[in-house]
Amino acid sequence: MLGVLVTFTQTDKFDRATLANIAGELRGPFEGMPSLRFKSFMLDEDGVRARNFYMWDDEEKGRAFFTEEIVNKVTGIYGVPPKIEYLDVVGFVDNSGT
């Protein structure tokens, strides 16, 4: 499994309501996306970093998703370019079915 942490850092705080709207508008294309186990939209406590976390069942598909076109698109949405980190997921706990 592949984890991908995408971080957008601003000098000013992100507006939580604006990020919630972005999450609501962008969730549709990810629902049912092949190989994507889940995606989360997050805001750090200090408010200067918005983070999105993806977990992919297929590493190749996960890496292929983050094209230059996608990076340019999200830079426009968030107003700053992202830092993308690829992580090897060696295990996780899923309590969603309980």
The whole-number pLDDT of residue 94 equals 85
Q: Which tokens hold the place of 88?
A: 């090897």
- Using CA atoms, how far apart are residues 42 and 23, in angstroms rounded to an integer? 9
H-state helical runs in the chain: 16-30, 59-65, 68-78
Q: Mean pLDDT of residues grouped by 10 in the chain (98 residues)?
A: 97 94 94 95 96 96 96 96 97 84
The pTM of this model reads 0.92
How many CB atoms are located within 10 Å of the residue 54 CB? 22
Nearest to 6 by CA among 41, 30, 32: 41
The whole-number pLDDT of residue 90 equals 95
Cβ contact 40:52 at 8 Å: yes
The whole-number pLDDT of residue 96 equals 82
